[in-house]
Chain A
Amino acid sequence: MRHLRIPVLFSAVALLLAACGGQGSGSTGPTPIAEIGDGEGELNLIIWAGYAESGETDAAYDWVTPFEDETGCQVNTTNMTDSNNGVSLMQSGEYDGISASGDATTRLIASGLAAPVNTDVFENYDAVFDDLKNLPHNTVDGVNYGVPHGRGPNLLAWNTEEVTSAPTSWEPIWEGGADYAGRISIYDSSIFIADAALHLMATQPDLGITDPYQLNQEQFDASVALLEELDANDPLYWSDFNDQISSYASGDVVIGTTWPYQVNLLQAESAPIEATLPEEGTTGWSDTWMMYSEAEHPNCMLMWMDHMMSPEANAQATVWFGEAATSEPACEAAEALSPGHCESQHADDPGYWENVWYWSTPQEDCADDDPDTTCVTQEDWVDAWTSLRGA
């Protein structure tokens, strides 16, 4: 019986696939929507936790409800655990948009999943800081594939009761990891290999690392070796930010890498946690709201993009997460929520961001024009991470 069924099913599948073919190939002649029409009543977003608050955690931070009231677009959100997860969720075709970091944006554009957008349709785009416009991770051949949400650094956080002298570099988790065996908190994603590479960039200049995301085999192996040393100290890996908060709060971990968001929440609960941007620099993100090329609710998505650049929403979102706002009006609005916000986050200080390496995708051609160089691919990063975590 089974033998008979297989070819039948097979051809049914083949037919169906043929019928839905051409889905991914729609990116050949992109024509951005020229004008925002009426909302479709619903909006499904893939977000970083904390990027779409509706006042559930703190009633003062709610930029979803005003949007829903104004546009009639009911917002549903799904948190991504890391950029790889975000890309995969976008591939499912069920979402209208995503707050993508640089290591996701390039992949989304290349696979035709991100829709080109005409920035003229947005009221709030003009005011955005110039150094956030037309960046390589969201603009290809002069075509924009999204609008900025905010940018920020990954930080080194520690428990001030257990780590008494404030660290100024990443050294305590790498070379000094044995002192905190079992109590180090590490981000559970292949992109964290870049944090090892970044540290090697400072401590082992002989390796010649110039970009922590584009590594040749030797540089990559050295980074993974450094990670294996860290892994031997039995760190606690986190992918859910709340896991990390509860392990800092309970004292299970005392030092590690984190986002400003967790530091804000922990300090709000008066946990003894401090954080710093170490001297050798850090990895970080510059996030872009992108629309799915076949979004079911494109008008709602475009309205959301505009909303997230508006002074009030951008101020709330960036203060809430602890990242830099994207425009001068947003900075002014942020003063009311958190005085000195834009100054402390270096929102309009291009020099500061030279020390922050935004997440980006490892590419075989090293993302440069030099044909002689080859780098370890994204696939191999994920594979190396699986080996490290699974062993």
Chain B
Amino acid sequence: MTEPRWVRIGLAVASGGVLVFLYLPLVILAIYAFNPSRLQAWPPTGLTLHWFAEAAANPGLRAAIVNSLIAGAGATGVALVLGTAAALAVQRFTFFGRETISFLFVLPIALPGVVTGIALRTTFQTLDVDFGLATIIVGHATFCIVIAYNNVIARLRRLPRTPEEASADLGADTWTTFRRITLPAMGTALLSGGLLAFALSFDEIIVTNFTAGPGTQTIPMWILAAIQRPAEVPVVNVVAFVLILLSAIPVYLAQRIAGGATGGGRY
């Protein structure tokens, strides 16, 4: 600790302020989830669990959750496979254009989603592809690859090469070495990358809006539609409240796996 006392206190106060700023809207929303009135006026008029029952009984909501889980799992799977392959290639081999690869992968997440969305939509239409879950997965996977790639490459950089070399010296072939040495060493990086990719996919609305067909709804799409129906706005508050609570699980899990000091890994 080299910082003087007043700096530490000042920073603690500033941090507290930022956390209040981050959580105030979420807390207000959580309170609205228990508000009996359909109108979002402050202060709330009472306390009810009525909207939780409505949310549980909503069939459209259930279908949307299933769709979001499928889309998230699909996109995360594709992203992990492709991102890991790319990271291995970049980290383990030298070749012309190596430096450009990470630049290319970062583009889909750095360019605005509305551009990615329209581009994919135009292409699918041109190719006469039917819009549905598959097109959503393609859209999501495209910007999730970089997440897996970054996590894996950060881990590979810190990984000593000696176990792999020892494995090879002992006569193991490439596949065995990968399966027994490299893959286990990357395990936690894959898991935290997978979690973040899944989170991004689960919350993505812009690209989804452009790549979903008329009959397919994900959770954000359901929220957007429900918010347009005055009667369903209180149910949206409930969904938001539950989503925030549930999100604590994967976030905490990722933290535990990463063991706190994560260095260059992503969260």
Contact = CB atoms under 8 A, between A and B. Distances in A.
Does chain A touch chain B in the assembled complex, meaning CB atoms less than 8 Å apart?
Answer: yes
A245 B214 contact: no
Interface in A48-85: 49, 56-58, 74, 76, 78-79
B39 A249 contact: yes
B231 interface: yes
Nearest to B232: A56
A267 interface: no
Contacts of A269: 38-39, 230
Contacts of A242: 227-230
B78 to A, nearest CB: 22
Interface in B193-233: 213-215, 225, 227-232
B202 to A, nearest CB: 22
B91 interface: no
Contacts of B126: 13, 16-17
Contacts, number: 47
A331 B125 CA distance: 43
A93 B125 contact: yes
Given A92-B125, A94-B131, A250-B41, A56 B215 contact: no
B99 interface: no
B213 A246 contact: no
A95 interface: yes
Nearest to A245: B230
B213 A94 contact: yes
Interface in B113-162: 125-128, 131
Contacts of A79: 225, 228
B40 interface: yes
Contacts of B131: 94
A241 B228 CA distance: 8
Nearest to B131: A94
A44 B214 contact: yes
Interface in B73-131: 97, 125-128, 131
Interface size class of B (residues with CB under 8 A): 20 to 34
A289 B165 CA distance: 70
A6 interface: no
Given A13-B126, A16-B126, A94 B214 contact: yes
Interface string A217-244: 0000000000000000000000011100
B214 A57 contact: no
A258 B125 CA distance: 35
A293 B227 CA distance: 32
B127 A16 contact: yes
Given A16-B127, A93-B125, A249-B39, A57 B215 contact: no
B247 to A, nearest CB: 27
A248 to B, nearest CB: 11
Contact of A57 (B125, B225, B231): B231
B41 A56 contact: no
Nearest to A44: B214
Contacts of A20: 128
B228 A57 contact: no
B214 A76 contact: yes
A337 B225 CA distance: 27
B44 to A, nearest CB: 15
A33 to B, nearest CB: 21
B171 to A, nearest CB: 38
Given A13-B126, A20-B128, A94-B131, A265 B230 contact: yes
Given A13-B126, A16-B127, A78 B231 contact: no
B128 A78 contact: no
Interface of B: 38-41, 97, 125-128, 131, 213-215, 225, 227-232
6 contacts: A13-B126, A20-B128, A42-B215, A49-B228, A76-B214, A92-B125
